Amino acid sequence: MTMDHHNASHNHSRRDFRRYATASVAGVSMAAGMPASATAAATTAAIPPDRLKFMEEASRLAMESVEKGWGGPFGAVVVKDGEIIGRGQNRVLLTGVPVYHAEVTAIIDASQRLNPKALLGAGTEEGTLLERIPRPPGSPDLVEQRAKMLAGCEIYVNAAPCPMCMSAIYWARIDRLFFAASLEDTSSIGFSDAFQYEDFALAWEDRKGIKATPNFGRELGLEPYRAWMAQSDPHYY
């Protein structure tokens, strides 16, 4: 979808979305006993200044993608113990694959480097990304253990992640996200990431970006679920 298609009809919902985001930040700040502005300042002050070099590399990768015609102006790096272990950039125009976004390719690169074997048949033993670790104290996680994936890592992106990439960051169990340009900045150059976030907040039948038919053949879909739960020790990730 293009921004021209969405701008006229969704300005109101975007305003609502921004108000919601602002209220959420303020609510967290008030719960902590400090104003939102003070929370932002405290968070920024807590970041060591040498971290900027990681954002510089993410932006360099984004620039390379633009200059070589590989994809959109997006780059990302995954960092562990102060070292870059994964690099990624948007390569949608190079590959014709719509999911080749910077964060996704950076996560794949980091996973390949951290796993002692190839991605296929990487194993689940200690030292692999599939090694299981207990859920943190107070976590709302539904299960007691999951694969550690990229726990202990950070990701730096030159722009706020789109919903797909934000989900990939969650699934990778990355500890912390740093991003530079905002969703509004990204919308201003023609990418509809903000619209997708807004659309996801709607009920299935109200989605504007895609027509969805929920519960179609539900029993068929549940059969693999039952097979998963029938395992003696499902390996959650």
Q: Which residues are catalytic?
A: 103
Q: Is 149 exposed, middle or buried (0-12, 13-18, 19+ CB in 10 A)?
A: buried
Query: In the 8-state DSSP scheme, what is residue 136?
Result: P
CA distances from 52 to 37, 44, 157, 163, 165 (A): 21, 12, 11, 24, 21
* Cα four-point dihedral sign 177, 107, 180, 79: positive
- How many whole angstroms separate alpha carbon 144 and alpha carbon 108? 26
Q: Are 142 and 79 in contact (CB under 8 A)?
A: no
- How many whole angstroms separate alpha carbon 168 and alpha carbon 152? 15
Torsion of CA 117, 165, 146, 133, to 10 degrees: 70
